[in-house]
Amino acid sequence: MHCTKQENMVSLRHDDETIAVYIHLEQNGVDVELGDKIPKGGHLGWSGKSGDTNGVAHLHFQVCLKSGMCSYKTGEYTVPVNFSNAHGELDEAGGLIRGESYLALACE
């Protein structure tokens, strides 16, 4: 877990050494602690509008190749990610398009 002065965020290290980063969480809205083992689908915290969000609550998510090598501002060293429950325009491979907004549908 990692928190910055401007943006509340959580970083999770996966077994394959990739890092999932969840940014713009609500102030005091992180519900995990350093060293917690989080199960698939586990609750991390509450989406918010901390940091550079223009006042709009949302979740910024990305997966990085290595700790300390991922720039969420430039996308450097990030891994493409697809969601099975995303509703919105997709690319020719069925993936998410950079810069587009998506709505998460209810999981079955």
This prediction's pTM: 0.69
3-state SS string over 25-71?
A: EEEEEECCCCCCCCCCCCCCEEEECCCCCCCCCECEEEEECCCCCCC
Domains of the chain: 1-83 (2.70.70.10)
pLDDT digits (tens, 9 = 90+) for 62-108: 888 875 666 656 556 777 777 777 778 888 877 778 788 777 666 55
Question: Which pLDDT band holds residue 19 (cuts at 50, 70, 90)?
Answer: confident
